[in-house]
Amino acid sequence: MTAGTLSNGKQKPLGVAEAVQKARDTFNSGRTRPVEWRKEQLRNLFRMYEENRNAMIDALHKDLRRSKMEATLLEVEYLINDLKDTLHNLDEWVKPTRPSKGFINIMDDVVIHNDPFGVALVIGAWNYPLQLLLLPMAGAIAAGNAVIVKPSELSVACATFVAETLPKYLDNDAVIVVEGGPEETTELLKQKFDYIFYTGGTNVGRIVYQAATKHLTPVTLELGGKSPVYIDNTVDINITAKRVLWGKYINAGQTCIAPDYVLCNKETQEKFLEAAKKVLKEWYGEDAQKSPDFCRIVNSRHFGRLQAILDTDKSKVAIGGKYDLQDKYIEPTIIANVKPGDKVMEDEIFGPILPIVPVENAYEAIKFINEREHPLVLYVFSNQKNIQNLFTEQTRSGSICFNDTIMFYGVDTLPFGGVGNSGIGAYHGKATFDTFTHKKSCLVKNFSPIGEKLASGRYPPYSDGNLSFITTLMRKRHGPSLKYLPYLLAFALGAGLSYGVVALNKMYTEEA
């Protein structure tokens, strides 16, 4: 938390309530509303990304032993490209929109204004500690909000980077970083916010949602769950193995949209295992622990959770299964012939362990999926259009992706978010701006005699004639567009008046 400076040059820390009040005072002053202020902040944020690329990559390596490739593509460049798109489109996004209108409002102006909510709280996650914090923060700024930013304390190096670097580039009165753990988060959730954006686990998501209801605060909850993969026998199994394993093992499986388990028949399972052995050896060599491209588990607690899964289901391990507590390393692992009641199927795995659950066909797979909570994403590998349509129509998930994993996340025109247990709300691209924007409806009437005549039937004394007239005006019509009708009416009125003036003038001339 930052405020003024102390004599030693360091920022004086703010209390949680004081930080929120400071942000609210700034928003209430109107400082964050002008589009130029928003663009200035976003340009400064862009400069921060450009000037601190190496520092961001180093912080990610310290927290997760993230390779330069994954750190750059999945966090740094992702943030940069999202910000470029926002800056390019912001002038257009902030413009009021004018929806269609009925005959009764034909002379009126019907407008939807894009208003900021006020003070937004953005709580980041430890698995992608920069992207999942700074991307929604940028959207909140673009929408004109003041923002309280809470990085995850589990990714220590990235939290430190954000706390030390962000205040050097952004308006410290409008964007305030709050550091700390559960105690500080609990205190934050006691405060009144105008919007809360949380990324993390479902259990904490429920706590955030419950706290938000006290003030009727709207929320976006980006959660997770067990995202399934279905594979049929029509696919190229070697390409399928690469795409599934890449999605699973980037960031050592610590990705909310990572494939959590595979559903396929036993014949496909054997082909997949054979292909997977070759792929993993090609990627990580004989010993993945020595590979510079394989991440580590974030801390000992999460390591212990994953170790317990491996120890319980070790008899079914088909590939991998080794681990090293000191290095927080868990080998890329595949568990075969898994049953629904096995430990690995209890909760979201969030690690480099991939179970395969045998099913006979797509119908059995759909039944299996529908008996569980709605996943954040569903992956389907099939060349059959009817199978793709079957999963689209008969399952519910935040997103669905065919014949690949993870890649849909990079399409910024696709809103990303969960459904049910996997989350509330969506963001990415313009959807991020819209998430932090209140769509304020506005009707603007004038004192035109035509408009007043059209609406005069509403006034007492009431009569059946007035009722019939008003209901006729209110009746929904779906013929030609009425968009230009006000101009035609104005033209007709003007033409009528002009004709009247000419006629009167002619009459007086003849009399003279």
Could you read off the pLDDT of 2-35 as tens digits, one per residue? 444 444 444 566 899 999 999 999 999 999 999 9
C-alpha dist (Å) from residue 32 to 36, 192, 258, 259: 9, 19, 37, 40
C-alpha dist (Å) from residue 86 to 47, 98, 138: 14, 22, 9
Classified as helix, coil or strand, 264 is strand
Residues 6+ apart with CB under 8 A from 61: 67, 68, 71
Q: Which helix (H) or strand (E) holds 381?
A: strand 377-381
Out of 158, 256, 264, 401, the active site residue is 256
* pLDDT score recorded for residue 498: 65
58-67, 374-383, 494-503: segment of lowest average pLDDT? 494-503
Q: Which helix (H) or strand (E) holds 441?
A: strand 437-444
* pLDDT score recorded for residue 509: 60
Pairing of strands 219-222, 423-424: antiparallel
* pLDDT score recorded for residue 197: 98
* pLDDT score recorded for residue 8: 43
| DSSP class of 165 | H
Q: How large is the average pLDDT for residues 227-246?
A: 98
Q: Name the band, by pLDDT with cuts 50, 70 and 90, for residue 506.
A: low
Q: How large is the average pLDDT for residues 123-143?
A: 98
List the beta bridge partners of residue 121: 148, 196
Q: Name the band, by pLDDT with cuts 50, 70 and 90, for residue 508.
A: low
* pLDDT score recorded for residue 479: 62
| DSSP class of 429 | T
pLDDT at position 108 over 60: yes
259-263, 369-373, 455-459: segment of lowest average pLDDT? 455-459
Annotation says 222 is catalytic: yes
Exposed, middle or buried, 154 (CB in 10 Å: 0-12/13-18/19+)?
middle
Percent of the chain whose pLDDT exceeds 70:
91
Q: Name the band, by pLDDT with cuts 50, 70 and 90, for residue 381.
A: very high
Pairing of strands 377-381, 399-402: parallel
Residues 67-82: pLDDT tens digits?
Answer: 999 999 999 999 999 9
Instruction: Provide the Cα torsion 233, 236, 238, 243; round to 10°.
Output: -100
Annotation says 274 is catalytic: no
15-19, 102-106, 491-495: segment of lowest average pLDDT? 491-495
Q: Name the band, by pLDDT with cuts 50, 70 and 90, for residue 167.
A: very high
pLDDT at position 481 over 80: no
* pLDDT score recorded for residue 330: 98
Out of 70, 75, 222, 331, the active site residue is 222
Q: How large is the average pLDDT for residues 247-254?
A: 97
Helices of type H across 287-399: 300-312, 362-370, 385-394
93-107, 218-232, 268-282: segment of lowest average pLDDT? 93-107
Q: How large is the average pLDDT for residues 249-260?
A: 97
Going by C-alpha positions, the residue among 326, 254, 235, 318 that lies closest to residue 280 is 318
What's the whole-model pTM score?
Answer: 0.89
Q: Which helix (H) or strand (E) holds 261?
A: strand 261-264
Q: How large is the average pLDDT for residues 292-313?
A: 96
Residues 408-461: pLDDT tens digits?
Answer: 999 999 999 999 999 999 999 999 999 999 999 999 998 988 888 888 889 999
SS3 content of the chain, % helix, strand, coil (to 5): 50, 15, 35
- Bond into 461 cis (ω within 30): yes
* pLDDT score recorded for residue 3: 44
Classified as helix, coil or strand, 356 is strand
pLDDT at position 500 over 80: no
Going by C-alpha positions, the residue among 229, 197, 205, 164 that lies closest to residue 9 is 164
- Mean pLDDT for the chain overall: 92
Q: How large is the average pLDDT for residues 25-49?
A: 98
* pLDDT score recorded for residue 229: 98
Distance CA 318, CA 305 (A): 20
